[in-house]
Chains A and B, each alone.
Chain A
Amino acid sequence: MFHSVRSFTAIVRTTFVETIQEPAALLVLLAAVFVTVLAPLFHFHAFGEEGRLARDGGLACLLVFGLVLCCAAAGAAVRRECDSGTAAAALAKPVGRGLFLAAKAAGVVAVSGLFWIAVTAATLLAEAAADHTIAVGETWNRLPDVRLRQWSLLAPLAALAGAAALHNRRRARFGVAAFWLVPAVLAAAAAASGFWNHAGDWGPYALRLNVRLFSAALPLFFALALLACWSAALAIRLPAGAVLPAGTALLGLGLSADAWSAGAPAGSCRGVLAGLLPNLQHYWLADALAHGGAVPWTYVLHAGAHAALGCALALAAGFALLRRRDLG
């Protein structure tokens, strides 16, 4: 048992490091962060609520860029190992195939977790920095928080500079260091935003971030975990390049599940498919945050349990495929 835990942890750690050291993973992370932070600059429409564009845009970036990251990472982690023979080398040790697959998926989910932290922090910053109506003297104006906006843009750059310094001084891998530092610095910037108000005046600490966002962002993490597990399962049979399109199709089907599966009889093909494929509409809850709303934590817990079951189903399917696959 202990040996299995150690093997599991070792594979998770290796998968995690292998994934985040890829330049493409860092690029996806930075793209998601910058799009989230920069989108509110083009403030063509307020959508009826201050900061809504920033919030909804950030959550959308979390889902879309997260999909790209998870599917590409799972495809590379599983398929590449199977093709290159390193999977055979690992499974020649006392490591079961099921444990191997589960650990691979867990490694990708861990990467998604770090990605989730970064983009959620960026979303909090973008929403807080967006145009708000504030009193300026005797008039009211819609103004952005310029200092927070600057910090939001500088934070990822500072993280990259830090990673470069670590690479220079301690020969740490740049990609790995950057992937850790970007979420950390963004989270620190978000936490530090409480030291000044929207008008830019310094004062006692007062958290002004929209913490309700977590109740909508967490289900998206569950969705990414689901996609990661399904991608890992599909990667056993599909080429690495086909996993992302397959994941995209899963996302599309998942987000439109209510449309194509509505009213489907339980025993029909549509009904069976609706039961097996994840209904990702349960995880997209951006609208629930509108006008001061929040997602109940019981719902979030249920979504977590639903996602856990979905992951288990995906991994079980993957194990069934891997059992019969010739390796090496």
Chain B
Amino acid sequence: MIPRILAIALLAIRAAVRSRVVLALGALLLLTLLGLPGWVRGDGTPRGAFVLLVGHTLAACFLLLAATTLWAGCAAMAAERAGGTAVLTAVKPVRPIELWVGKWLGIVVLAALLLAAAAAGLWLQIRVRADELPADWRRCHRVVACQRPEPAAEAERLLRRLRDEGRMPTDATEAELRAGLIREIRNRYELIHPGESKTWRFRIPGGVAAAGQGRGTAVVLRAVFETQFALRQEAALSVRAEIAGTGTEAFAADAKAMAGEPLALALPATLAVPGSVVAVTFRLDPSARAPLLLHPGRNLALLFPGIGFTANLARAALALLAVLAAFAACGLALGCCFSFPVASFAAAAVVLLSLIGACTGSGEASGGGEPPAERVGRRVIAAGTALARPFLDAAPVGRLARSEEIPARGLLPPLAAGGVAAPVALALLSAFVLRRRENGA
């Protein structure tokens, strides 16, 4: 079985290389790598240049690779059938699933090589343009978010309170209320009024502390405050940090936070005790003119020294490869079911819907009374988003551009989904179709 699969994979690679598709794709990737940063203007800041170089360029290269991988998958099966070469393969002692896996492997290997080349090209560009980039670009940060109540549990708690107090709304079902509460809790901002203090807790995970202490680098507290009506104003804050339960304050400082701009404070490494809980308290100066808003889920985090940029780039490439593997599987499945033009069209629809799904989010309902067509559309988007959840959550390009460490454990869901679950499911479906299909009719 293995030699047959490898032979088929090698044939798929040869077909792509000798058909000049790989050459054309390589040229396009080179054009994108070199042309995009030169053509698109950044915001003039080193961080902006970094985001452009890392985020947009890599995303554009990935989009190119994704579309090509999908179409290559369609062509691998459908074009063989149209060209008649499928007959000679069908009479050989090759099982349909071996054929499918071999082709999938070939396409994934080729995609991996091209992705690696794109990542290497990006890395070289960054090295060459290092003086335009932020000084700390070489090291990523490991992000530890603050502890927050689980939205579902918090919603249940609120519902129970409403029920006990007899204040349950009557114009919506309990399920709608629950969904609405969960949505609200996820998007909730916390208010700090002038003179008021608010405390958030961070649980320090194990591996982080060792890295932080070993390098002697301070832990960074990052917060982005906002104001109502998005007013640009500066507010005076006092910040305290301690290991919860010790009563000993490890850090105290006054700071000025500009609304909308990140506030970064270096905390002592002594706070990075594995398994401990660090409590950070913000107190807004009483003289402040307006309260500050903070979204703890999005805009509050402790940043620990993480892995280097190169290692993070490699992790991002791995996560992207998982998506390409899923696209290859999808393309092959379409190619098994349809002719090449129809499969290509369906593949284009898949790419467009993926883009729309990634942009529109989870497809949550806007509320009651929406037209049936809109409801159907939202459900379709929600289903697609649910399928793509392992890949969306990994968010490799975004994290790389924000210099956030992509956790190694965080690679497991996309790799499992793209490297195992999607190919297995689609391979079984394709094998079923191939067995039922008649060749040479």
Contact = CB atoms under 8 A, between A and B. Distances in A.
Query: Do A and B touch, yes or no (CB under 8 Å, in the complex)?
Result: yes
B371 interface: yes
B373 A41 contact: yes
Residue among B345, B349, B374 having the largest count of chain A Cβ atoms under 10 Å: B345
The SS class assigned to the B binding surface is helix
Contacts of B341: 22-24, 27
A27 B377 contact: no
A42 B345 CA distance: 23
A243 to B, nearest CB: 14
A33 to B, nearest CB: 14
Interface residues of A, number: 9
B339 interface: yes
A191 interface: no
A24 B345 contact: yes
Contacts, number: 21
Contacts of A24: 341-342, 344-345
A27 B371 CA distance: 26
A47 B384 CA distance: 29
A41 B374 contact: yes
Nearest to A146: B371
A3 to B, nearest CB: 35
A27 B374 contact: no
B388 to A, nearest CB: 20
Contacts of B373: 38, 41
Contact of B377 (A23, A31, A41): A41
Interface in A13-32: 22-24, 27-28, 31
Interface in B335-358: 339, 341-342, 344-345, 349
Nearest to A24: B341
Interface string B356-399: 00000000000000010110010000000000000000000000
A157 to B, nearest CB: 14
B339 A42 contact: no
Nearest to B360: A42
Interface string B313-339: 000000000000000000000000001
Contacts of A42: 374, 377
Nearest to B345: A27
A28 B377 CA distance: 20
Nearest to A72: B341
Nearest to A242: B24
Interface string A84-101: 000000000000000000
Interface string A33-51: 0000010011000000000
Given A41-B377, A42-B377, A23 B342 contact: yes
A23 B344 CA distance: 11
A24 B339 CA distance: 9
A24 B344 CA distance: 9
Interface string B90-118: 00000000000000000000000000000
A23 B339 contact: yes
B356 to A, nearest CB: 10
A28 B339 CA distance: 15
Nearest to B346: A27
Contacts of B371: 41
Nearest to B21: A241
Contacts of B374: 41-42
Contacts of B345: 24, 27-28, 31
Interface string B123-151: 00000000000000000000000000000
A27 B339 CA distance: 13
A145 to B, nearest CB: 13
B365 to A, nearest CB: 14
B257 to A, nearest CB: 34
B63 to A, nearest CB: 15
A205 B373 CA distance: 29
Given A22-B341, A24-B344, A31-B349, 16 more contacts: A23-B339, A23-B341, A23-B342, A24-B341, A24-B342, A24-B345, A27-B341, A27-B342, A27-B345, A31-B345, A38-B373, A41-B371, A41-B373, A41-B374, A42-B374, A42-B377
Interface of A: 22-24, 27-28, 31, 38, 41-42
19 contacts: A22-B341, A23-B339, A23-B341, A23-B342, A24-B341, A24-B342, A24-B344, A24-B345, A27-B341, A27-B342, A27-B345, A28-B345, A31-B345, A31-B349, A41-B373, A41-B374, A41-B377, A42-B374, A42-B377
